[in-house]
Structure 1
Amino acid sequence: MIPRTLFDPEHEAFRNTTRRFLAEQCMPFHAQWEEDHQVPREVWKKAGELGLLNATTPEAYGGLGLDRRFSLIVGEEVTRVSANGLIGFGVHDIVAGYLINFGTEAQKHKWLPKMATGEAIAAVAMTEPGTGSDLQGVKTRATLVGDHYIINGSKTFISNGTHCDLVVVVAKTGNTGKGSQDISLIIVEADRPGLSKSTPLRKVGLHAQDTTMLFFEDLRVPKENVVGGVAGQGFFQLMKELAWERLGIAGNSIAGARAVLEHTLEYTRGRSVFGKPIFDFQNSRFKLADMKINIEVGQNYVDRCMALCLEHKLTPQASAAAKLWCSDLYSKVVDECVQLHGGNGYMLEYPVARHYLDHRVLRIAGGANDIMKELVGRTL
């Protein structure tokens, strides 16, 4: 198959560091994190010490000033071992992107250095109990009264919800009736009166991922907390960063599918039925070959999108297509590989079963795949 050429030697060294961190500092304890429904804050600080958090943050704001391939690597490696408790690293990175690209200097200096070290954990609050992929339909409202915004509303499916120190909230600040022009992103410090958090939500998978609901009741923040300092820019800011978020989901999906295929190749070569290894049956080999081919095709598309991202040429439609195709493929690969494992595929001691629990949300996160088709369809 075609070798990947996206990464330089320093990227591969960073990948090795990430793998050691996951193997030594995370996976031995991950079962307990699943029981707790969250990852200890100390793990975030250890990740920060290794440069695994917000590696792309400029050095002037406490980061390493690296390119986004480093962020892609962290996501790939986390998904490869199904370390679902660390999915929040990606959300943390997305919030950093909002601040780096759109934040005021005061906002950057206040939060980015703490985020890079893991001292401050970030969350983004988009989805509401009654509103998902349609971000223009949010009901949470921030009303300007004097020099402060007063926020009322609720948000759900908040990754890093329990531990977060800051939340970037998607809220209505205008009354023009023009949808996108009424939306702003507002930084809310988690210790402000008027913010409350639910207990961790019980999910089908991602059991170690800290996910909650957030409630805002007459919460006051200074108007300077609007990302970028100017209200009404939120929808534009979201759309600019969603392309990166969706590319990250695509990359994670391919990494997960590849890991599941590798585990299944090992299993089918070592498990025998009717006197010979499962791998030796033509049906098995053909299924495995189909998965291998599709993973390689998806990988090449993701890597091409990543190259365009580095050149600031990645379009929302290209990232939507990547997210749609790759997350769908991950589901297909997981399902086929569970089948090839037989009954063992349903046992959590086998990696394929953990992927089976954790992968499904990727077809919903970052915008449901049905919406991705709509985005691509608009270009026809």
Structure 2
Amino acid sequence: MIRDSETLTILLDSIRQFVDEVLIPREQEVAETDAIPQDVAAQMRGMGLFGLTIPEEYGGLGVTMEEEVRIAFELGRTSPAFRSYIGTNNGIGSIGILLDGTPAQRQHFLPKLASGEILSSFCLTEPDAGSDAAALKTTAVRDGDDYILNGTKRFITNAPEAGIYTVMARTDTQIKGAGGISAFIVERNTPGLSLGKNDHKMGQRGAHTSDVIFDNVRVPASQLIGGIEGIGFKTAMKVLDKGRLHIAAISIGAADRMLEDALRYSLERKQFGKPIAEFQLIQAMLADSKAEIYAARCMVLDAARMRDEGRNVSTEASCAKMFSTEMCGRVADRCVQIHGGAGYVSEYAIERFYRDVRLFRLYEGTTQIQQIVIARNMIRETQQ
């Protein structure tokens, strides 16, 4: 749902210009330094990018789901590290507080996230609990007016920079599944909280992940999200549905960028006396990529509009995430092929994008998890 077409057009134009004139020229710097330049981070704050999805009453822009995915189409055209830096504040790091937090929790934390004063992280995955999120072992034991947290979280995006962590922990060890899980807001300087070393990843340099370790971390009961035990897993699933549409949209933006670069290269590169774009096998790869990007864009926009209407989009979000991220991987492979040997060297952005976009098929639930979600929803709906 687009609330004001004129305002959205102005916003998209400014983000597109920012991507083209500021972010794309700094991509190689981020790849070489493994860090987001602080002057770029300051510009992001000034543009309100940390609070895109946070309601206006808390200092954000309060964009709808359709508006968010249209913004993601633009942000996806540059290094994923830039999007990742602002992504947790707009998604998994804030949405749980927004959807299920108490009024006091929203008032205290959301304005800081919207302004970019602090970054957030979402702590769900563990060494032995990834796709099977309900199997997590981190515990939170009530002790007077506090809870004491123990456990380790793994592959946590923005953990090295975060000021707060949304932590899923088991408050009832007698309940083995999702029902015993609760969500907590844990501040970075809390005694007993520590970080592992930064993960050395295949791609996405500048986007940092690490373990987050809780060793008798004492958290006030006032920071139990919603003030209710046992709803943490439901909170996590609400967050992931929205996040899946966002990642799908980012994948489309990345695919657009890769195809644009490949098309330009194919028009400049000559073999046998003419641009390789004139060869039909190159044209086939360009055409297949264009068609798949178009199909993915239609899926994501349709699902986003359905979510804005208040409809359950569990199936549609998984379909969009599965198709868009797999599509992005296919486009990346074709674009390397179009570049030929040049696609395998770092002089061209496609070499970096080929590695960067591989992650899209893993987080917010792997492709295989999306298949399970889709099929189970189909079976459940048929049996009702």
- TM class, shorter-chain normalised? over 0.9
Structure 1 unpaired stretches of 5+? none
Give the superposition deviation at 1:10.
2.1
User: Is residue 47 from structure 1 mapped to residue 28 from structure 2 by the alignment?
Assistant: no
2:166 corresponds in structure 1 to 168
1:275 corresponds in structure 2 to 273
User: Is residue 8 from structure 1 mapped to residue 18 from structure 2 by the alignment?
Assistant: no
SS in 1 for 2:227: coil
Q: In 1, distance between residues paired with 2:132 and 2:218? A: 26
Q: Deviations over 1:297-341 (max 9, x none)?
A: 111111101111211214211111111111001001110110110
2:85 corresponds in structure 1 to 88
1:286 corresponds in structure 2 to 284
Is the Cα contact below 8 Å between 1:14 and 1:70 reproduced in 2?
A: no
Q: Tell me how large the CA RMSD over aligned residues is.
A: 1.9
User: Equivalences for 1:112-191 in 2 at 5 Å?
Assistant: 112-191=110-189
SS in 2 for 1:334: helix
Q: Deviations over 1:271-304 (max 9, x none)?
A: 1111221111111112211211111111111110
Instruction: From 255, 258, 267, give the equivalent of 1:260.
Output: 258
Q: In 1, distance between residues paired with 2:282 and 2:320? A: 27
Change (3 A) 1:68 1:315: closer
Give the superposition deviation at 1:40.
4.8
Give the superposition deviation at 1:371.
0.8
SS in 1 for 2:189: coil
Structure 2 unpaired stretches of 5+? 380-384
SS in 2 for 1:166: strand
Q: In 1, distance between residues paired with 2:68 and 2:53? A: 7
SS in 2 for 1:34: helix
Is the Cα contact below 8 Å between 1:141 and 1:152 reproduced in 2?
A: yes
Give the superposition deviation at 1:247.
0.6
TM-score, normalized by length of structure 1? Answer: 0.94
User: Is residue 64 from structure 1 mapped to residue 64 from structure 2 by the alignment?
Assistant: no
1:223 corresponds in structure 2 to 221
**Number of positions where the alignment pairs a residue of Structure 1 with one of Structure 2:** 376
Q: Deviations over 1:5-30 (max 9, x none)?
A: 99923222212222333344444444
1:38 corresponds in structure 2 to 35
289-298 vs 337-346, which moves further: 289-298
1:360 corresponds in structure 2 to 358
Q: In 2, distance between residues paired with 1:299 and 1:227? A: 34
1:18 corresponds in structure 2 to 15
2:212 corresponds in structure 1 to 214
TM-score, normalized by length of structure 2? Answer: 0.93
Change (3 A) 1:304 1:20: same
Change (3 A) 1:276 1:41: closer
Is the Cα contact below 8 Å between 1:75 and 1:90 reproduced in 2?
A: no
Change (3 A) 1:290 1:64: closer
Residue type matched to 2:59 in 1?
G
Residue type matched to 2:276 in 1?
I
Is the Cα contact below 8 Å between 1:30 and 1:83 reproduced in 2?
A: no
Identity of aligned residues (%): 34
Is the Cα contact below 8 Å between 2:266 and 2:277 reproduced in 1?
A: yes
Q: In 1, distance between residues paired with 2:197 and 2:70? A: 31
Residue type matched to 2:243 in 1?
E
SS in 2 for 1:366: coil
Is the Cα contact below 8 Å between 1:111 and 1:120 reproduced in 2?
A: no
Q: In 1, distance between residues paired with 2:368 and 2:250? A: 19
SS in 2 for 1:218: strand
Residue type matched to 2:50 in 1?
L
Give the superposition deviation at 1:250.
0.9
Q: Deviations over 1:225-262 (max 9, x none)?
A: 11111111011111122111001111111111122111
Residue type matched to 1:64 in 2?
L
SS in 2 for 1:131: coil
Is the Cα contact below 8 Å between 1:38 and 1:85 reproduced in 2?
A: no
Q: In 2, distance between residues paired with 1:157 and 1:76? A: 25
Change (3 A) 1:16 1:314: farther
Q: In 2, distance between residues paired with 1:156 and 1:297? A: 34
Q: In 1, distance between residues paired with 2:184 and 2:55? A: 22
Is the Cα contact below 8 Å between 2:80 and 2:356 reproduced in 1?
A: no
Residue type matched to 1:147 in 2?
D
